[in-house]
Chain A
C-alpha cells in the first residue's frame, strides 16, 4: 500500500514537473507588430521577444549585442524582409544559432507571401529617392496582411513544435476570426472618410490606405527619404486647394512633427501624429493598433 502511494506521488510529480518545465518556443520578432501576432498564435506555448520596441524607423536601426543574445536562444525568428533589415543577417552570424539560418525551420521572412505595393518597374536609382527595390515595406499596416503573416507563423510553429499543433491551429482560427470581424468594423467606420484628402510625411501608410480605400493626395517628402522642399510643398498645397474635400495630414511618430503640423494648419487640415506600430502610444496588440488608428481618424 505504502509503495503504491509512493509510486502514485512519484508519477504525479513527474507529470506536474513535465507540465511545469515544458519549454516554450522562443520567438524573436523584429518588431512588436509581428511579436503580437506570434503571441496570439502561440499562446502559452511561446515566449515572444521583440528586438525593436514600439515605433522606430526601421531604416535606421543600430544592431546591438543584446539582440545577439535574444537570437542565440531563439527557436524562431520573424523578420521584416524586403532588404530592409539586412542588419539581422549580421546578428544571425554572430549568434551562430543554426536554427535561424535562412531556409531553416526557425526563419520567417514575414514579407514572403505579401502582395507588395509600389514595386518599381525597370531599374531604379537615387534620383527617385530611397525607392525600395522590392516595394513598400510597411506592409503590416494592412490588417489583411496580418492574416497572411499569422498563417505563416502558425505553419512554422507547427513544424517546430508539432506536439501543440492543435492549439496553434485553434489560436490561428480564433485570431483570424477576430481580426476579420474587426476589419469589417474598421472598413465601416472609415467609409465616411473615403473622399478625404490624406497627406502623409513619408510613404508609410500606403498599405493602410489601400486596405480601407482611402485617398492619398501626396507626401510631404519630395521623394521617398528626401526632406520636404519648398517647391514640392507649394505644388502639394495647390493640389489640396483645388479640392473641396477636407484634408488629414498623417505623420508617423518618428518623422518631423513641426513641418507636418505647419502644413496642416496652413490648409485647415486635421493633423494626426500617430504610431504605426504596436508598443507606442499605448497600443498593446496588433488588433489594438487598428482600433487606435481608426479611432484617431474618426474622432
Chain B
C-alpha cells in the first residue's frame, strides 16, 4: 500500500512538473516539498538525519472548501525510511452555505474533516517548518504526543463568536493515531501520556489588537482522551492555557513571546490517576530580514509523587536563506539528560500555505 502511495505521489509530481513547464493552465493542486535535515550532538550520541521530506498537495474543491494533504518520508529509528500520511483534511469554511447554497447566512460555522494535528494550544497544530526551534519543548513532548505531536482522525466544528474581538470556539472528536509513533528514532524518547481511543478536544481561541503594532492572543484548551472508557480511571484529562504576544518593530523587526501551560490528570497502567503539570515560555526576536534569535525554557513537573521534575533551556539562532529556506542552530541545556547542540536545514520548494494558527 505504501509503495503505491509513493508511486502515486511521484507520478503526481512528474505530471505537475510537465504541466508547469508547458505553462499551460491546469487544475492541478499546489505541490510543494519541504525538507528537514537535522544533525545533533550530545556527549553520548551524535547523528545526522534526513528527518523528513514532506510533500503537500493543496487545492480548492469549491469556493469555500479546501483540501490539504501532507505526506512524508520519515526516517525511523531502525534507519529505514517510512512513507506515511501526516495529515489529510477538508476545510469547510461555510457549512451552512454547503448545505443550503442559496441561504447567505454568513453564520461563521466552519468544519474540518480528516486527519489533522489537534488544535490544542498553538504549538501542537504547527508543522516542523513553522517552528522556531528544532524540537518541541520538553513538557509539550511529554504531555502532548511526543516529538511528532498529537494527530487524530475525525472531525471538528469551529465557530467564530459574534463578538467585537476575535474569539473562535473549536470542538472536535478524534481517534488518535499515537502521536509518538516515531519515538524510537528520537533522542528524547517519549515517556509521557499514552493517548488512546477517542479524544474529545475543545479550544477557545481569542485575539486582541492592542495597538497597530501589538497583538495578544490567548487560548483555553481542554481535552478528554479515552472518552468511551467504562472506568473513569482510564480517562485522561488535559487542560491548557496558551498566550502569544506579537510586537512589530520598525525596519521589519518583530518580537514574539509565546507561552503554554498544561495540566494533565492520568494514571499509568494499574495506578490511580495523578496530576502532572508542565509548560514552556519562548521569546524570539526577528533582528532583520535574515536573522532571528530566540530563547526557550520548558518545565515538566512530577506525575503525582512519581519521578522528578525536569527542565530544559534552549537557545536558538536562525539564518533565513530565502523566503522558504533556513538554517538553524540550537543549544539545549537539559536538567536530567545530556546537553545537546543541533543544526537544522529546512528548505521549501513550491507554493505552500497554512491556515491561520
Contacts and interface: CB of A to CB of B under 8 A. Distances in A.
Interface of A: 53, 56-57, 59-60, 62-66, 68-69, 72, 83, 86-87, 89-99, 101-104, 122-123, 125-126, 129-130, 225-227, 253-257
Contacts of A98: 63-64, 93-94, 97, 104, 106
Contacts of B166: 65-66, 68-69
B289 A255 contact: yes
A64 B108 CA distance: 18
B9 interface: no
A68 B356 contact: yes
Given A101-B93, A126-B349, 18 more contacts: A53-B212, A57-B252, A66-B166, A66-B208, A68-B207, A83-B351, A89-B353, A90-B354, A92-B93, A93-B93, A96-B64, A98-B63, A98-B94, A98-B104, A99-B106, A123-B17, A123-B20, A256-B289
B160 A68 contact: yes
Interface residues of B, number: 48
B240 to A, nearest CB: 18
A125 B21 CA distance: 12
B207 A101 contact: no
B110 interface: yes
A262 to B, nearest CB: 16
Listed from nearest, the 8 A-B pairs whose CB atoms lie closest are A65-B207, A66-B209, A65-B166, A101-B63, A86-B353, A90-B355, A254-B252, A90-B356
Interface of B: 17, 20-21, 60, 63-64, 66, 91, 93-94, 97, 104, 106-110, 160, 164-166, 168, 205-209, 212, 215, 217, 246, 248, 251-252, 254, 288-290, 322-323, 325, 347, 349, 351, 353-356
A60 B252 CA distance: 8
Most buried by A among B94, B109, B288, B289: B289
Contacts of B355: 89-90, 93-94
B209 A64 contact: yes
Nearest to B353: A86
Given A93-B91, A93-B93, A126-B325, A65 B104 contact: no
A62 B63 CA distance: 24
Contacts of B168: 94
B63 A103 contact: yes
B252 A56 contact: yes
A62 to B, nearest CB: 6
Main secondary structure of the interface of A (DSSP, over half): loop
A55 to B, nearest CB: 9
Contacts of B104: 98
B177 to A, nearest CB: 24
A57 B110 CA distance: 31
Contacts of A56: 248, 252
Contacts of B209: 64, 66, 69
Given A66-B166, A95-B160, A126-B322, A90 B353 contact: yes
A65 B160 contact: no
A213 B209 CA distance: 43
A87 B251 CA distance: 21
Given A66-B207, A254-B251, A93 B215 contact: no
A65 B351 contact: no
A59 B353 contact: no
Contact of A69 (B109, B165, B251, B325): B165
Contact of A65 (B17, B215, B354): B215
Contacts of A53: 212
A239 to B, nearest CB: 25
Contacts of B20: 123
A64 B207 contact: yes
A291 to B, nearest CB: 24
A130 B326 CA distance: 13
